[in-house]
Amino acid sequence: MAPPQRTQQQASGPVALAMLGAVCCSIISTLATKRLTASPELALAAAAAGAAIAPLISVAGRHQPLRVSVGVLVTVMALAVTYGGFTVVDVTTDGKPHFPLPGDVGGGSGGSGDDPPPAASGPAIRVVPASVALDCPEREDRCAREVRVISTGSAPLVIGAIEFAGGPAAGLAHDAGDCERKRLAGTEDGCTISVWKESPDGPGGTARLVIHQNLPGLPTFVRVKAPAGPPPTDPPTDPPTDGPTDGPSDGLPAEG
For residue 129, what are the contacts with CB-CB under 8 A and spacing of at least 6? 114, 147, 222
Give the Cα separation of 149 and 185 in Å (integer): 13
Domain ranges in the chain are 13-93, 125-226
Per-residue model confidence (pLDDT) at position 134: 83
Per-residue model confidence (pLDDT) at position 79: 84
Give the Cα separation of 179 and 161 in Å (integer): 9
125-226: CATH topology: Immunoglobulin-like (2.60.40)
The pTM of this model reads 0.45
Which of left, alpha, beta for 170 (phi over 0: left; psi -120 to 50: alpha)?
alpha
pLDDT in tens, 99-138: 887 654 444 444 444 455 455 678 999 999 999 988 765 5
pLDDT along the chain (256 residues), means of 10: 47 69 84 79 85 70 65 82 83 73 49 51 90 71 84 92 80 88 88 85 79 92 81 60 54 52
